[in-house]
A = this chain, B = another copy of it.
């Protein structure tokens, strides 16, 4: 496994590997089993696996969140090596955003402006879109792997990749969960044992909505009330429990096709998100 810090070195490393397919797994480091799932999917499919580690300042709305974001490069590189990654691209911020940098890739509409876009500010998905565009153009992979946990991020990426015609195929892997159901997240390490126990209300609420929908309740307002009750029983007041079209993020009032149920909530000071899809993936 080689580790490169510049786009030029990344391209040089990939030049001789273009005969076979290239898989890209973008990460912000602080790797956990969820990332390992993405790396294994890439390893199963592509001849060369490229992982990136870059904590992107442009997508953090709060400087305190950026400062607190866990940075564990040594452990990340060990995990990557164990998972058979070929090339790690771990640039400094100045390599990604040199002096004079002035370009933004921006997705408009509900897909980027509601839910996470509303809670985290307009700049969040602009930051995601801009850096993921850069990473894709640096590596020019055949496949790029993302986790379903970041459903809205995936929808935004799907949109700009199609709109700009970036020549890459997206692969979305199911959310990786601990045995008790909590979605894996780099932020989980910040939860106290008590907070972690309460956080289980989030996957429980999603499961309850899934069961209720399977039992024939199609009115999303009724489903919303059930989820809210489950969350509040654990003292969680969510930022949102949303029922939306998985591609456009337009609100949905009746479940009669695929509906994304997305939850965001702070447990203590840690912000968590999770989601599931009702009515078929």
- Give chain A's interface residues, CB within 8 Å of chain B: 7, 11, 100-109, 111-112, 129-130, 133-134, 137-138, 140, 159-160, 163-167, 248
Contacts and interface: CB of A to CB of B under 8 A. Distances in A.
B159 A103 contact: yes
A10 to B, nearest CB: 10
Nearest to A104: B106
A100 B134 contact: no
A108 B100 contact: no
Top 9 closest A-B pairs, CB basis? A103-B163, A103-B160, A102-B108, A102-B109, A137-B165, A104-B106, A102-B107, A101-B163, A103-B107
A5 to B, nearest CB: 15
6 contacts: A102-B109, A102-B112, A104-B108, A105-B164, A134-B165, A137-B164
Contact of A111 (B102, B160, B164): B102
Contacts of A105: 103-106, 164
A248 to B, nearest CB: 7
Nearest to A130: B164
A248 B100 contact: yes
Contacts of A107: 102-104
Given A105-B105, A133-B164, 9 more contacts: A101-B163, A102-B107, A102-B108, A103-B106, A103-B160, A103-B163, A104-B105, A106-B106, A134-B165
A112 B102 CA distance: 10
Contacts of A101: 163
Contacts of A104: 104-108
Contacts of A138: 165
A164 B106 CA distance: 13
Nearest to A137: B165
A248 B109 CA distance: 31
A226 B105 CA distance: 41
Contacts of A112: 102
A92 to B, nearest CB: 15
A163 B104 CA distance: 9
B166 A102 contact: no
Contacts of A108: 102-104
Contacts of A248: 100
